[in-house]
């Protein structure tokens, strides 16, 4: 995530209120969904930072950043280690109780991480739709605070949509975004997910998907826009792996 990411007041409030900050990033795009601006603020405030690499069931991280924990909210991987890291910080700082803020890009799975840890959160299937801060207790010593997704500034539609930070209904060039996705999604993942014929040409692949899903406009023309939006939504919901 670029340093121009927009830190709204509610996210800054979460950093102020909490002792530990969990930055949730997408394993399919670790560098793209990290926020250096956020991390610098956490450091300046003297708070502890733990990077949670979520969706490790969809991608194998080639490089693990410092203070990072591989995680899968869906498979419940990494929950024990994350809890242990939180308790380690508590013991080191002699804290009887701790407030943990969960922050990050929209749609990286912040609410799902909280649920995997045993808390309650209002997860949404639409990108960027956690509303306000939500406290949840996962033990008598640990309180988690969910937050709205960070809103990036100065990034194009394609980048935002691929990162999951843009609601699919608001995308203007859905076909362009889908083509970018098809360049990075392995063909075996497409075959596994949809049972389609794999093609090297992403435009031809999109047409194949539209046909597979029986998506047509009037006159039996393939509706590649609708197919593109389905592909994007499936990507954002974690239905497509890159391993």
Domains, in order of start, for the chain: 9-146 (3.40.50.300), 167-236 (no CATH)
Of 200, 202, 203, 222, give the one whose Cα is nearest residue 211. 222
Q: 220 burial class (0-12, 13-18, 19+ CB within 10 angstroms)?
A: exposed
Is 4 a residue whose pLDDT tops 50? Answer: no
Q: Is the distance from CB of 24 to CB of 52 less than 8 angstroms?
A: yes
What is the pLDDT of the chain when averaged over all its residues? 89
Q: What is the DSSP letter of 168?
A: G
Q: How many CB atoms are closer than 10 A to CB 87?
A: 15
Could you tell me the pLDDT band of residue 151, with boundaries at 50, 70 and 90? low
> What pLDDT does residue 6 have?
52
Which residue has tokens 């060039």?
Answer: 173
Q: Which neighbouring-strand residues pair with 144?
A: 100, 136
In this structure, of 2-6, 171-175, 188-192, 217-221, the range with the lowest mean pLDDT score is 2-6
| Position 220 pLDDT exceeds 80 | yes
Q: Which residues contact 66 (CB under 8 A, 6 or more apart)?
A: none
Please tell me the pTM assigned to this model: 0.86
């Amino acid at each position: 995530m670029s340093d121009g990411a927009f830190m709204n007041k509610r996210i800054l409030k979460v950093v102020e209120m909490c002792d530990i900050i969990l930055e949730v990033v997408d394993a399919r795009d670790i560098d793209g969904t990290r926020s250096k601006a956020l991390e610098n603020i956490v450091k300046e405030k003297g708070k502890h930072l733990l990077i949670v690499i979520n969706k490790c069931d969809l991608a194998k991280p080639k490089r693990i950043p410092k203070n990072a924990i591989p995680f899968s909210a869906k498979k419940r991987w990494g929950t024990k280690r994350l809890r242990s890291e939180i308790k380690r910080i508590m013991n080191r700082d002699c804290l009887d109780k701790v407030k943990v803020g969960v922050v990050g890009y929209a749609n990286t799975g912040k609410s799902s991480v909280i649920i995997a840890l045993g808390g309650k959160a209002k997860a949404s299937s639409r990108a960027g739709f956690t509303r306000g801060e939500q406290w949840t207790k996962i033990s008598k010593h640990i309180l988690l605070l969910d937050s709205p997704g960070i809103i990036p500034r100065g990034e194009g539609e394609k980048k935002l949509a691929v990162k999951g930070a843009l609601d699919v209904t608001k995308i203007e060039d859905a076909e362009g975004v889908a083509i970018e996705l098809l360049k990075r999604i392995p063909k075996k993942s497409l075959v596994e997910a949809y049972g389609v014929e794999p093609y090297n040409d992403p435009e031809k692949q999109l047409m194949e998907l539209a046909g597979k899903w029986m998506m047509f406009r009037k006159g039996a023309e393939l509706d590649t826009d609708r197919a593109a939006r389905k592909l994007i939504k499936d990507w954002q919901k974690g239905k497509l792996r890159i391993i």
